[in-house]
Amino acid sequence: MKIRKFINGLVALGAAAALLLLSDLENRVGSQDGKEQTKEEGGLHAVKGRTYKIGLTYFAPDATMEAGLVGLWDGLKELGFVEDSNLTIIRQHANGEMANLQPIHLNMDNEDVNLILINTTPAITAAVSTVKKHPMVFTMTYSPLEAGAGKSYTDHLPNITGVGSFPPVEKTFDFIRDVFPNVKRIGTVYNSSEINSVKVVEKAREYIKDKGITLIENTVVNTSEVYQATYALCLKNIDVVWVTGDNTALQSMPGIVKVCKDNKIPLILNDVDYVEQGALAAVGIGWYATGKHTAPFVAKVLNGESPANIDIENYVEEDITLNQEVAKTLGITFPDKYIQMKKKAKRENPLKLCLIHYVDSPNSENVEKGVRDELKRQGMVEGTDFTMKTFNAQGDNATLNSITESVAGEKWDLIFASSTPTIQSLAKKIKNIPIVFSNVGDPVKAGLGNSFTDHLPNMTGVSTMSDFDGLVNLVIETVPGIKTIGTVFTPNEVNSVAYKDELNKAALKRGLKLIAAPAGSATEVSDASLSLVSNRINAFTQISDNLTASSGSSIIKAAYDARIPYFGFITEQIKSGAIAVLARDYYIAGVDAGKQAMLIFDGKSPKDIPYQYVSKTSYLVNPDAMHYFGVKVPKKYIDLSN
Amino acid sequence: MSLLIGSITIGLILALLALGIFISFRIFNFPDMTAEGSFTCGAATGASLIVAGMNPLLACLIAFIVGMLAGATTGVIHTHFKINPLLAGILVMTALYSVNLHIMGKSNTPLLNETTVFTWIERLSSAISGPDAVSSLLGWEVNTRNIWILFFCLLSVTTFSFILFWFFRTNIGTAMRATGNNDQMIRALGVNTKVMIIIGTALSNGFVALAGALLAQYQGFADVQMGIGMMVWGLASVIIGEAIINDNSLGAVILGAVIGSVLFRLLVAIALRWGLNPNDLKIITALFVFVALILPTLMSYRKPTYKRKVNA
């Protein structure tokens, strides 16, 4: 009988656990990529103690290769394959000569490697006919099928698989027509023995056929002909030069750029990594993303899965890169939609963000508002560019832990934390997701680093420590003969205590005495301020913490009743009757956190972003209050207040 | 899955709190508010000692003892000064607030870079299965060290549950239970009920403080506000456990308190995971608890009543 009763409890536990797991299904490894991963548990990750060897072949070193390979190595690193640690890479390239491709692959096939990683379309063509002993994975190619990798993405040669990235040809020409509405003749240069270029040009020809545009083609057979071919092209009265990802042409990009520049003809590419060399724009592929997308393919094959079981995939992260400098010299302005799109193209999926509050307070609400406004100002639209989930522990420590666990179980792009306990709890649990904090008084004292620059690697943030020296100076210059100042503080708020100590230091420096009265709850705030009044302080210099921020008006009331000048650190208090406020605003603290987050979105590591104080200190002065208390704030502060 | 494991871990740590509340609330019928203060007190003591370089297990032990002292104070105030148990608890809880601030010297003590019990387990985990090892559970990837931490918490809660079970079946333990049930009867048998109550509140708050010390180490900081609301949650856990297990024997209620605590954290986690408006979190939690409480009753309505038929 007893056992049956326990079963009730266990069933309830089981049901709750199952419900929780059910809502967590999306994070299950197996559910992400379907069949490959469920079948190959752990096959994606480097096996401990094992070393791997990759043979890497490509046409020639260039900027595109560089970007793609960086993405690939980054992707592999995430899966536990680290070069020079458990991964050896043998690199060989054909020096930009088609004729060299065959021999380097023959050579590579005789090396003792786990797989051969083939980059660029011509290399694939050479590899499929020469490599017999090793499995192959390809990437950085427009058209793997035309190169001979197989009949279709699912029906391909058994020893090869990989990722193809066919460039957005239609979009390229739409772009050209949007920027140059009167375009009639577009010239292009490519190597006719590169099957990838042939395929792209074919598609382009077909797309513009009925659009009143003629494509003028000049073909080359090696890099040395490119300059001349482009030169000849420019003499054929063309409006725009378009060069696709032709390996041969890319090798001679400086030549192409020079000819176009000399003839004042805009140059449009498909490879974004070349734009900065002097092209007008590129509508193309983010190769870094392609490289990264290839990493799981490489990982699986390295762990022994046969390429035959892995379908080829087409993966394109479209990216439009504009060169405003070139646009200026050519007198061209891009349509607004591309400038907008440029921002969006970077992120196909909205960034997944969350913001965690510890308690409902005006300060943390202002921080949230600041963060959201700043993201909006930076052109981030909620829903399309990012999603932001907010959590609030509502002052409950156990709930804060549950929130931290819940957050740790999901994959976020960035987490905002709006209080000291929040960031401490996150710091303990989350080591690999960037975290930006705000509304933290002293991050060093909170254990988040040794200094503002030497801090925990996955986080950065904004310290809301007030400008105590500034306020003490202002008060001394405003209230003649001042000896003692007073503040209410909240012993249970770590920020509040730190602020009180700092204010005390600042006061001692100028020979003032600080009297601090503790308050633990809203009802105690007015008692505490009355006790300050009876201590005959000459001025209130109220520090800013969560408690006194929400019940500050009772302190101001006490100040008015006793005619003791009131100074504060919170913007809103100027309206409630403070004489002057020296605000490092929580709203601005949120804005600054938003700015730091943008740096992280742009690829900067939180480790390299130092902690900072709120960037702007605003001086606010209330003339009515000045009059009431019979004091005069020096003119220099009044000037600052605008 | 990592959310599940994390929630169960927190649930187990807070099960110690629930066991403490169970002792005062169920064994002695003593609504002891001291818990809110002694929870933080344990956290503050443990954290400060660890920062001072003490062995974390020893720090936990001292936190336990300090919690017992706090509880004993409540017991003495109640028994010797004839103060209503609720008020005695409130007095000590209020006083502990200042004591806790003094113990830490400030309102918050970070433990992020200190060696805690959980650092040990993490080290053990990386020694056995390598640093940052990932295990696969039913298809979810879980950090191996979190599983170790879960096992540790499970092991300690089991151990403490058995100790309690054993203790309450010894002579003194039985006398304590009797004090809660029928103090006149047990006084007639020559037992000093005052001493029993003092031991009981001390033991209760010892457990509460231990839970605080462990939670502080788990979450990486002790904060003077961390005890707020704990009493209520501990009580809720005990009652949920009772409602679900529905058996008054000692072992069943102890196990019930543990199950109740874990279940409660799971319910909070579900409410969180569903990503509702954060302002609604508490009302959803309350709703879940309500459902958990009435579910056993609802289920018993639907049970066919074989017994009566047999008897008839």
* pLDDT, position A340: 62
* pLDDT, position A37: 39
**Does A403 contact B272 at a Cβ distance shorter than 8 Å?**
yes
pLDDT digits (tens, 9 = 90+) for B236-287: 888 888 888 877 788 888 998 999 899 888 888 887 777 666 677 778 778 8
Of B110, B270, B296, the CB nearest to A20: B270
Nearest chain A residue to B6 by CA distance is A405
CA atoms within 13 A on the CB side of B227: 31
Shortest CA distance to A434 belongs to which of A421, A415, A420, A456?
A: A415
Residue type, B93: M
Q: Does the beta carbon of A424 lie under 8 angstroms from any beta carbon of chain B?
A: yes
Residue A43 lies in a domain: no
* pLDDT, position B57: 93
pLDDT classification of B301: cutoffs 50, 70, 90: low
Q: Does the beta carbon of A48 lie under 8 angstroms from any beta carbon of chain B?
A: yes
Shortest CA distance to A494 belongs to which of B49, B54, B100?
A: B100
**Does B273 contact A408 at a Cβ distance shorter than 8 Å?**
no
* pLDDT, position B309: 45
Shortest CA distance to B50 belongs to which of B135, B117, B129, B141?
A: B117
Looking at the fold, whether A259 and A190 belong to one and the same domain comes out as yes
Average pLDDT over residues A608-614: 88
pLDDT digits (tens, 9 = 90+) for A288-335: 888 888 988 888 888 888 888 888 888 887 777 788 778 888 888 888
Residues of chain A neighbouring B95 (CB-CB closer than 8 A)? none
Residues 6+ apart with CB under 8 A from B147: B5, B125, B135, B137
* Token pair listed for A341: 């799109």
Looking at the fold, whether A623 and A516 belong to one and the same domain comes out as yes
Residue A591 pLDDT exceeds 60:
yes
Shortest CA distance to A70 belongs to which of A388, A290, A291, A350?
A: A291
* pLDDT, position B312: 40
Average pLDDT over residues B177-204: 86
Question: What phi, psi does A89 have (nearest 5°)?
Answer: -125, 125
Looking at the fold, whether A502 and A564 belong to one and the same domain comes out as yes
Looking at the fold, whether A576 and A479 belong to one and the same domain comes out as yes
**Does B220 contact A428 at a Cβ distance shorter than 8 Å?**
yes
pLDDT digits (tens, 9 = 90+) for B107-133: 778 887 788 888 888 888 888 877 667
Average pLDDT over residues A419-435: 88
Count Cβ atoms below 10 Å from residue B138 Cβ, excluding itself. Answer: 9
Q: What is the CATH number of the domain that holds A57?
A: 3.40.50.2300
Host domain of residue A256: 169-286+317-345
Residue A39 lies in a domain: no
Nearest chain B residue to A429 by CA distance is B219
E strand or H helix that includes residue A591: helix A586-601
Count Cβ atoms below 10 Å from residue A39 Cβ, excluding itself. Answer: 12
Looking at the fold, whether A490 and A411 belong to one and the same domain comes out as no
Residues of chain A neighbouring B108 (CB-CB closer than 8 A)? 420-421, 424, 446, 494
Window 349-408 of A: residues touching B by CB (8 A cutoff) are: 357, 360, 389-392, 394-406, 408
**Does B110 contact A27 at a Cβ distance shorter than 8 Å?**
no
Looking at the fold, whether A488 and A526 belong to one and the same domain comes out as yes
**Does A29 contact B139 at a Cβ distance shorter than 8 Å?**
yes
Looking at the fold, whether A480 and A545 belong to one and the same domain comes out as yes
Determine the residue among A387, A402, A494, A502 to mutate to test chain B binding: the one whose Cβ has the most chain B Cβ atoms within 10 Å: A402
Residue where a domain stops, chosen among A266, A297, A314 = A314
Residue A545 lies in a domain: yes
Specify the 3-state DSSP secondary structure of A6.
helix
- As a whole number of angstroms, the distance between CA A351 and CA A414 comes to 8
pLDDT digits (tens, 9 = 90+) for A214-262: 888 888 888 888 888 888 888 888 889 999 888 888 888 888 888 888 8
- As a whole number of angstroms, the distance between CA A439 and CA A584 comes to 11
Residues 6+ apart with CB under 8 A from A568: A540, A541, A542, A544, A552, A574, A578, A581
Of A21, A27, A424, the CB nearest to B110: A424
Nearest chain A residue to B217 by CA distance is A428
**Does B1 contact A421 at a Cβ distance shorter than 8 Å?**
no
**Does B265 contact A398 at a Cβ distance shorter than 8 Å?**
yes
* pLDDT, position A315: 83
Residue A335 lies in a domain: yes
Of B101, B139, B274, the CB nearest to A491: B101
Shortest CA distance to A189 belongs to which of A116, A260, A133, A128?
A: A260
Alpha helices in chain B (DSSP H): 2-22, 34-51, 56-81, 85-104, 117-129, 144-167, 171-181, 183-188, 193-219, 230-245, 250-273, 281-302, 306-311
Q: Does the beta carbon of A455 lie under 8 angstroms from any beta carbon of chain B?
A: no
Structural domains of chain A, count = 4
Looking at the fold, whether A305 and A268 belong to one and the same domain comes out as no
* Token pair listed for B73: 């104070």
pLDDT classification of A38: cutoffs 50, 70, 90: very low
Looking at the fold, whether A368 and A422 belong to one and the same domain comes out as yes
pTM: 0.59
Residue where a domain stops, chosen among A314, A329, A360 = A314
Residue A429 lies in a domain: yes
* pLDDT, position B310: 43
Residue type, A364: S
Nearest chain B residue to A5 by CA distance is B245
Residue type, A491: P
Q: Which of A27-36, A179-188, B56-65 has the lowest mean pLDDT?
A: A27-36
* pLDDT, position B155: 94
Q: Does the beta carbon of A450 lie under 8 angstroms from any beta carbon of chain B?
A: no
Q: Which residue has the higher pLDDT, A542 or A130?
A: A542
Residue where a domain stops, chosen among A328, A345, A362 = A345
Q: How far is CA B248 from each of CA B26, B244, B257, B292, rounded to the nearest angstrom?
A: 10, 12, 12, 18
**Does B270 contact A23 at a Cβ distance shorter than 8 Å?**
yes
Specify the 3-state DSSP secondary structure of A98.
helix
Chain mean pLDDT for chain A: 83
Looking at the fold, whether A226 and A141 belong to one and the same domain comes out as no
Of A357, A401, A498, the CB nearest to B219: A401
Residue A18 lies in a domain: no
Residue A237 lies in a domain: yes
Q: Which of A128-137, A416-425, B267-276 has the lowest mean pLDDT?
A: B267-276
Looking at the fold, whether A207 and A334 belong to one and the same domain comes out as yes
Phi-psi bin for B187: left (phi > 0), alpha (psi -120 to 50), beta? alpha
pLDDT classification of A33: cutoffs 50, 70, 90: very low
Average pLDDT over residues B55-65: 94
Rounded to 5°, the CA angle B44-B45-B47 comes to 65
Q: Does the beta carbon of A42 lie under 8 angstroms from any beta carbon of chain B?
A: yes
Residues of chain B neighbouring A20 (CB-CB closer than 8 A)? 3-4, 7, 266, 269-270, 273
Looking at the fold, whether A73 and A140 belong to one and the same domain comes out as yes
pLDDT classification of B187: cutoffs 50, 70, 90: confident
pLDDT classification of A36: cutoffs 50, 70, 90: very low
Specify the 3-state DSSP secondary structure of A189.
strand
Specify the 3-state DSSP secondary structure of A372.
helix
pLDDT digits (tens, 9 = 90+) for A435-465: 999 988 888 888 888 888 888 889 999 998 8
Residues of chain A neighbouring B10 (CB-CB closer than 8 A)? 398, 401-402, 405
ipTM exceeding 0.85, yes/no: no
Residue A329 lies in a domain: yes
- As a whole number of angstroms, the distance between CA A569 and CA A579 comes to 11
Nearest chain B residue to A42 by CA distance is B136
Average pLDDT over residues B4-16: 89
pLDDT digits (tens, 9 = 90+) for A266-286: 999 888 778 878 888 888 787
- As a whole number of angstroms, the distance between CA A443 and CA B185 comes to 58
- β-pair partners for A352: A387
**Does A31 contact B139 at a Cβ distance shorter than 8 Å?**
yes
Of A12, A28, A392, the CB nearest to B279: A392
pLDDT digits (tens, 9 = 90+) for A53-86: 888 888 887 777 888 888 888 888 888 888 888 8
Window 518-547 of A: residues touching B by CB (8 A cutoff) are: 520
* pLDDT, position A354: 92
